[in-house]
Each structure stands twice: as structure tokens, then as C-alpha cells.
């Protein structure tokens, strides 16, 4: 199976687009609805880490069953992210590159090394 190194974003987006088209589901995929679906999947992903300490959450990869479960939830989150990009006509690579240019300016490496905020900001946000 191809991996992230030999898979373009467009290829993954097409898998989602085909799945939606074959079921004629675009009618349900208003951006509002897809944004809800995405938030719901993000919550299901978070559920796996809910009662763990921050440190224990780092050990999850040592349990293959749990890692596979989390991988499925992450696939749902990214799948809906691509579904939303498909509906809205957003180029994901462009959006990420542009945002990261902003983040590099907002969080200069020298100033934020080892600290995630001047006070309490969300670092990638």
C-alpha cells in the first residue's frame, strides 16, 4: 500500500470525493453539516485520551489495538476535512503553507523556543 511519501493530497481527496459521489451524498454535505461532522469526529478522537494524564497519552503507540482505533478516528477527522475542502474548493496544501508562513511570523522560533506562549496562546492556532 502506498504511504504518505508517495501519496499526494489530491489522491486522498479523490478517494473521499468518489465515495461521496457514488452515494449522491453531496446533498447532505453542506459546509455547515460537514463542519459539524468534523467536530464530532474530533471529539471521538479526543475521547481516547480523556482520562489519561498527558504523560500516559504518549504511551498509546505501545498498544497496537488502541493505536489502530485512534488511527481510524484520525482518518475520519482528515476525511471530513477533505470533504469540506472538496465542497468549498479549497486547496489544502496552499492553505496549510500559507497558514504556516503566518505562524512562523507569529511565533518566532527564538522567542518561543521551549515556551508555547508569551502568556497563554494556542501555538498553532
For position 17 contacting a second copy by CB under 8 A, the verdict is no
Candidates 89, 74, 97, 69; CA nearest to 13 is: 89
Q: Among 64, 105, 118, 125, indicate the residue that binds a second copy (CB under 8 A).
A: 125
Cα distances (angstroms) measured from residue 79 to each of 11, 104, 125:
12, 27, 21
In contact, 68 and 33? CB cutoff 8 Å: no
Residues 57-86 that bind a second copy (CB under 8 A): 57-58, 60-61, 67, 70-72, 74-81, 83-85
Residues 30-49 that bind a second copy (CB under 8 A): 30-33, 35-49
Q: Among 5, 64, 105, 118, indicate the residue that binds a second copy (CB under 8 A).
A: 5
Amino acid at each position: 500500500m502506498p504511504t504518505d511519501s508517495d501519496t499526494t493530497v489530491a489522491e486522498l481527496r479523490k478517494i473521499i470525493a468518489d465515495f461521496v459521489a457514488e452515494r449522491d451524498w453531496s446533498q447532505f454535505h453542506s459546509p455547515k453539516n460537514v463542519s459539524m461532522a468534523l467536530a464530532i469526529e474530533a471529539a471521538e478522537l479526543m475521547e481516547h485520551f480523556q482520562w489519561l494524564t498527558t504523560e500516559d497519552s504518549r504511551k498509546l503507540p505501545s498498544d497496537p489495538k488502541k493505536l489502530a482505533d485512534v488511527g481510524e478516528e484520525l482518518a475520519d477527522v482528515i476525511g471530513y476535512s477533505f470533504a469540506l475542502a472538496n465542497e468549498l474548493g479549497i486547496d489544502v496544501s496552499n492553505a496549510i503553507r500559507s497558514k504556516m508562513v503566518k505562524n512562523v511570523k507569529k511565533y518566532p522560533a527564538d522567542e518561543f523556543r521551549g515556551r508555547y506562549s508569551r502568556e497563554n496562546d494556542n501555538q498553532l492556532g
